[in-house]
């Protein structure tokens, strides 16, 4: 206690020296803390990129992209002209039209898929279908122009001529006879079901013959033609992935990636899983109905994909999507091999079966994407220790010089302590206590400065852009993603380690300095004068 | 009590050898108030340091209570001084960052005495030298006489057998100096402590039970 009190007052008596030592210690500590914080931030950034791709548990992702695919939509709305030929448009009614683009990736033929599946090294082959949907949404105009055309009725002469021609047609005559006979049976309630059907069929054939004798104007007749004006409609594009629901643990969306709700019940169920952010943006809830073209799908869950293999917003069971797009194929093949060592051989075989295919290896892809991060991390790891060593060494030298100067100035005081019975250890302990207090000031200073600086650094909004474009645009959908990865955080463990090391070094420096210089008495000068 | 045999100390000053103390032979008994007079540079302070184990002799031995202190290591000397020798200096040599009581405490700390007991002892010592009311003052706030009284309290902290005083009145006016000398004299009379005072002030010698004179390193006794 006395030692601490003495050391504290001594540190206050020499504020300049105390501040100097504290600053040196604080600078060293800041260097250590920032190197640690940055190394850790880079490491976690590296991990963040690597993890999803590593977790994919897929050896190959095979696609065959088309070069003419992927035209971007203009921003905002589009002028869309509707010509409704079949149904009736209700003015002011909302409409949704989904245009499905299957052209970005080539559809693999069943023969090609069968050939790949036959490869003996394949452990699992899962097909998937990825389509881009352009959704046009808007409202029909309130006023729609309807043009009506009237056709002149048949004149008596025309009717007479048609009747004459029909009577002379032997086929028509036979049909008329059959019709009269069947109608008689129906009237007498003696007709069988088969005969009733024959009656309808006979009538249809007779009408066809009659129609062929009618003038041309009747054949081109259109009762109404609706000509709605162009409407302002908004267009959005999203990616829909059809996934094999029979493989819930393997593929573009696994069961583990469902954030809320459930996974598909069957491969042809009228169910849909939406990416969580997409659902939030569209304000869709679980249980709502999501339509794709005319297919009504029940929203059963929200997904948070972690593998990074697909950036689809909408997931459907493969069978359901095939039904919607009226295509039984697959344009993405997910392959798991029996052993990684067979990868090179498999790639060779694949190149023969599908010469135009593109193979993505998640492991390789992860290395490509995070390569720069990995290098930086290694750089930090390799050079940080050297840098820290230089900083610490420089600090030790500076603090030692400062201590020597101070002790020289306090030579008399140290001598007095010896005279009144203080041992060498006692003096070392006293000097060490003083240095420990000054080091503690430095540690506290570094803590305050580091916390403030890290807040400033993190407010600079540093981000890392990872270019996915070079990897596979069609699979990832977006051209590149921005991850908010780089957030150096205060590392309390590093701080405690650094503090402990600084305090240990302070004690060591104090003991060594006092021992090496070993001030004996305060009276050297007097002795030299020979008093 | 104290026995010096052929005690010599030689310094080298450049090429020149300076004999600060030349073959001093003397004994000082318990309770004596022994005064060594001499002008500045006569070697009296060197002799005092040799007696206190602050310096090593070039030749000869110093025995205190039968213990040859010239054979002790630095740490053994520190322990020996702690129990047996108290020092009083001309320039007081108080620690500037510690108050009067803490300065006295500093001399008790190495004994490992518990804090409460140590503080009580320090206060008693300050009371003995009439400084109990000024215990919380830093040395810079005390007069020369007051500082010397604190220094005496510190010298007596561990109840030493020997008190060595180097020009204790050197930085004091005569009146204050006299008070200090009387205080030291009382120590030898009341506690039976041996006091050796080195001085060039003539009035100090009047209190001595025995006197010696130092001239060019040679110690001579008055009678």
pLDDT digits (tens, 9 = 90+) for A318-347: 999 998 888 888 888 888 777 666 777 777
Say whether pLDDT at A40 is over 70.
Answer: yes
Identify whether A62 is part of a domain.
Answer: no
Last residue of a domain, one of A203, A221, A239: A221
How far apart CA A454 and CA A34 sit, in angstroms, is 9
Chain-centroid distance of CA A41 in Å reads 20
List of residues 6+ apart from A281 with CB closer than 8 A: none
A234 and A377 inside one domain: no
A255 and A173 inside one domain: no
Tell me what pLDDT residue A48 has.
64
A137 and A155 inside one domain: no
Least confident range from A416-430, A451-465, A485-499, B68-82: namely: A451-465
How far apart CA A141 and CA A138 sit, in angstroms, is 9
Q: CATH number of the domain that B30 lies in?
A: 3.40.50.300
Residues of A in contact with B105 (CB under 8 A): 2
Of the candidates A259, A257, A254, the one whose C-alpha atom is nearest the C-alpha of residue A302 is: A259
| DSSP-derived secondary structure for A78-147 | EEE-----SSPPPTT-EEEEEEEE--SBPPBPHHHHHHHHT-TTEEEEEEEEEEEEEEEEEE--S--EEE
Tell me what pLDDT residue A306 has.
67
Sheet holding B59-64, edge to edge: B16-28, B2-13, B59-64, B67-68
A280 and A383 inside one domain: no
| DSSP-derived secondary structure for A319-379 | HHHHHHHT---BSEEEEEES-GGGHHHHHHHHHHH-TT-EEE-HHHHHHHHHHHHHHHHHH
A266 and A343 inside one domain: yes
How far apart CA A298 and CA B72 sit, in angstroms, is 97
Identify whether A302 is part of a domain.
Answer: yes
Both tokens of B216, joined, read: 């060019």
A91 or A94: which carries more pLDDT confidence? A94
Size of interface A-B (CB pairs under 8 A): 96
Mean pLDDT of A400-425: 86
A386 and A507 inside one domain: yes
Identify whether A60 is part of a domain.
Answer: no
Chain-centroid distance of CA B201 in Å reads 16
Of the candidates B74, B180, B182, the one whose C-alpha atom is nearest the C-alpha of residue A520 is: B74
Helices (H) and strands (E) in chain B, counts: 7, 10
Tell me what pLDDT residue B199 has.
87
Quote ipTM for the complex: 0.88
Q: Tell whether A222 lies on the interface with B, counting CB pairs under 8 A.
A: no
Mean pLDDT of B135-142: 91
Residues A285, A291 contacting (CB under 8 angstroms): no
Residues A489, A380 contacting (CB under 8 angstroms): no
Q: Which of residues 14-73 of B touch A (CB under 8 A)?
A: 18, 20, 40-46, 49, 52, 54-55
Angle at A278 between CA A277 and CA A279, to 5 degrees: 90
Both tokens of A490, joined, read: 């205060």
Cross-strand pairs, B166: B198
User: Distance of CA A41 to CAs A377, A447, B17, Å?
Assistant: 9, 18, 69
Q: Tell whether A492 lies on the interface with B, counting CB pairs under 8 A.
A: no
A158 and A44 inside one domain: no
How far apart CA A48 and CA B4 sit, in angstroms, is 82
Mean pLDDT of A60-64: 78
Residues of B in contact with A417 (CB under 8 A): 95, 106
Q: Which of B55, B96, B110 sits opposite A421 (nearest CB)?
A: B110
Identify whether A434 is part of a domain.
Answer: yes
A45 and A136 inside one domain: no
Of the candidates A55, A53, A66, the one whose C-alpha atom is nearest the C-alpha of residue A131 is: A66
Both tokens of A143, joined, read: 């006023």
Residues B55, A419 contacting (CB under 8 angstroms): no
How far apart CA A460 and CA B142 sit, in angstroms, is 58
How far apart CA B1 and CA A490 sit, in angstroms, is 67
Query: What is the domain extent for residue B118?
Result: 2-221
Residues A502, A443 contacting (CB under 8 angstroms): yes
Name the band, by pLDDT with cuts 50, 70 and 90, for residue A270: very high
A128 and A177 inside one domain: no
How far apart CA A148 and CA A146 sit, in angstroms, is 6
Q: What share of chain B is helix, strand, coil (3-state, %, to 5)?
A: 40, 30, 30
Cross-chain residue pair B97–A9, CB shorter than 8 Å: yes
List of residues 6+ apart from A298 with CB closer than 8 A: A270, A271, A272, A287, A288, A289, A290
Report how many domains make up chain A. 3
Q: Tell whether B171 lies on the interface with A, counting CB pairs under 8 A.
A: no
Identify whether A61 is part of a domain.
Answer: no
Mean pLDDT of A259-272: 90
Q: Which of B44, B105, B110 sits opposite A426 (nearest CB)?
A: B110
Identify whether A63 is part of a domain.
Answer: no
Q: Tell whether B107 lies on the interface with A, counting CB pairs under 8 A.
A: yes
How far apart CA A516 and CA A513 sit, in angstroms, is 5
Residues A59, A117 contacting (CB under 8 angstroms): no
Which residue in this structure is represented by tokens 């050896």? A59
Cross-strand pairs, B33: B195
How far apart CA B28 and CA B9 sit, in angstroms, is 20
Both tokens of A37, joined, read: 């914080």
Name the band, by pLDDT with cuts 50, 70 and 90, for residue B190: confident
Last residue of a domain, one of A221, A252, A267: A221
Tell me what pLDDT residue A376 has.
60
Residues A128, A212 contacting (CB under 8 angstroms): no
A187 and A334 inside one domain: no
Residues of B in contact with A530 (CB under 8 A): 11, 13, 18, 20, 41, 43, 46
Last residue of a domain, one of A360, A392, A425: A360
Tell me what pLDDT residue A116 has.
81
Say whether pLDDT at A54 is over 80.
Answer: no
pLDDT digits (tens, 9 = 90+) for B48-100: 889 988 888 999 999 998 889 988 888 888 888 888 899 888 888 899 889 99
> Which run of H or of E encompasses A402?
helix A362-409
Tell me what pLDDT residue A57 has.
58
> Which of B21, B53, B106, B150 best tests the A interface by mutation, with the highest count of A CBs <10 A?
B106
A35 and A115 inside one domain: no
Name the band, by pLDDT with cuts 50, 70 and 90, for residue A378: low
How far apart CA B137 and CA A14 sit, in angstroms, is 19
How far apart CA A290 and CA A271 sit, in angstroms, is 9
How far apart CA A310 and CA B145 sit, in angstroms, is 91
A245 and A392 inside one domain: no
How far apart CA B107 and CA B122 sit, in angstroms, is 9
Query: What is the domain extent for residue A162?
Result: 150-221
Cross-chain residue pair A423–B87, CB shorter than 8 Å: no
Both tokens of A346, joined, read: 């498999």
How far apart CA A240 and CA A252 sit, in angstroms, is 11
Say whether pLDDT at A134 is over 70.
Answer: yes
């Amino acid at each position: 206690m006395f030692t601490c009190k003495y050391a504290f007052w001594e540190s206050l008596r020499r504020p300049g020296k105390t501040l100097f030592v504290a600053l040196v210690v604080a600078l060293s500590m800041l260097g250590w803390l920032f190197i640690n914080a940055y190394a850790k931030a880079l490491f976690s950034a590296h991990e963040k990129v690597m993890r999803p791709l590593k977790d994919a548990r897929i050896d190959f992702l095979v696609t065959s992209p088309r070069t003419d695919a992927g035209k971007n939509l203009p921003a905002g709305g589009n002028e869309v002209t509707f010509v409704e030929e079949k149904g009736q448009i209700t003015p002011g009614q909302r409409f949704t039209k989904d245009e499905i683009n299957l052209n970005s990736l080539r559809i693999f033929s069943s023969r090609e898929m069968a050939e790949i599946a036959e490869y003996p090294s394949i452990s699992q082959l899962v097909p998937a279908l990825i389509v881009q949907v352009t959704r046009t949404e808007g409202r029909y105009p309130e006023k729609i122009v309807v043009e009506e055309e009237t056709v002149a009725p048949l004149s008596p002469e025309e009717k007479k001529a048609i009747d004459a021609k029909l009577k002379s047609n032997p086929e028509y005559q036979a049909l008329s006879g059959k019709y009269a006979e069947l109608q008689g049976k129906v009237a007498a309630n003696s007709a069988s079901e088969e005969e009733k059907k024959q009656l309808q069929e006979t009538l249809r054939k007779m009408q066809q013959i009659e129609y062929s004798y009618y003038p041309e104007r009747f054949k081109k007749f259109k009762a109404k033609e609706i000509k709605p004006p162009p409407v302002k409609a908004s267009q959005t594009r999203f990616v829909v992935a059809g996934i094999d629901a029979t493989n819930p643990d393997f593929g573009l969306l696994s069961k583990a990636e469902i954030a809320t709700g459930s996974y598909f019940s069957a491969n042809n169920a009228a169910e849909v899983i939406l990416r969580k952010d997409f659902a939030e943006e569209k304000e869709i809830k679980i249980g709502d109905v999501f339509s794709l073209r005319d297919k009504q799908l029940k929203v059963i869950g929200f997904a948070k994909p972690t593998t990074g293999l697909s950036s689809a917003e909408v997931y459907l069971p493969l069978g359901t999507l095939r039904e919607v797009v009226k295509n039984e194929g697959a344009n993405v093949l997910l392959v798991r091999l029996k052993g990684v060592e067979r990868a090179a051989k498999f790639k060779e075989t694949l190149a023969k079966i599908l010469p135009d295919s593109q193979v993505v290896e998640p492991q390789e892809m992860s290395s490509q994407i995070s390569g720069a991060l990995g290098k930086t991390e290694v750089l930090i790891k390799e050079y940080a220790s050297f840098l820290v060593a230089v900083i610490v060494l420089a600090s030790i030298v500076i603090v030692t010089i400062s201590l020597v100067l101070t002790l020289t100035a306090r030579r008399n005081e140290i001598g007095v302590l010896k005279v009144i019975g203080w041992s060498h250890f006692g003096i070392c302990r006293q000097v060490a206590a003083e240095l420990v207090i000054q080091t503690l000031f430095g540690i506290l200073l570094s803590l305050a400065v580091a916390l403030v600086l890290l807040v400033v650094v993190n407010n600079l909004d540093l981000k890392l852009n990872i270019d996915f474009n070079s990897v596979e645009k069609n699979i990832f959908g977006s051209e590149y993603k921005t991850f908010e990865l780089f957030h150096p955080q205060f590392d309390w463990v590093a701080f405690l380690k650094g503090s402990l090391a600084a305090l240990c070094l302070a004690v060591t420096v104090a003991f060594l300095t006092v021992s090496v210089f070993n001030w004996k008495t305060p009276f050297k000068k007097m002795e030299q004068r020979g008093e | 009590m104290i026995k010096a045999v052929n005690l010599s100390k030689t310094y080298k000053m450049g090429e020149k050898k300076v004999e600060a103390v030349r073959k001093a032979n003397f004994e000082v008994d318990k309770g004596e108030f022994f005064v060594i007079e001499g002008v500045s540079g006569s070697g009296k302070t060197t002799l005092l340091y040799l007696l206190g184990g602050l310096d090593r002799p070039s030749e000869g031995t110093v025995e205190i209570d039968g213990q040859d202190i010239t054979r002790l290591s630095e740490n053994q000397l520190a322990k020996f001084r702690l129990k047996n020798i108290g020092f009083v200096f001309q320039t007081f040599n108080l620690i500037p960052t510690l108050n009067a009581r803490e300065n006295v405490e500093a001399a008790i700390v190495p004994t490992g005495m518990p804090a409460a007991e140590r503080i009580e002892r320090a206060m008693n010592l300050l009371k003995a030298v009439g400084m109990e009311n000024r215990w919380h003052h830093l040395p810079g706030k005390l007069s020369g006489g007051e500082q010397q009284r604190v220094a005496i309290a510190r010298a007596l902290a561990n109840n030493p057998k020997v008190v060595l005083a180097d020009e204790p009145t050197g930085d004091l006016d005569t009146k204050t100096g006299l008070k200090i000398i009387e205080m030291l004299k009382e120590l030898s009379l009341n506690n039976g402590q041996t006091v050796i005072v080195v001085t060039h002030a003539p009035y100090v010698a009047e209190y001595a039970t025995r006197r010696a004179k130092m001239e060019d390193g040679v110690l001579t006794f008055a009678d």
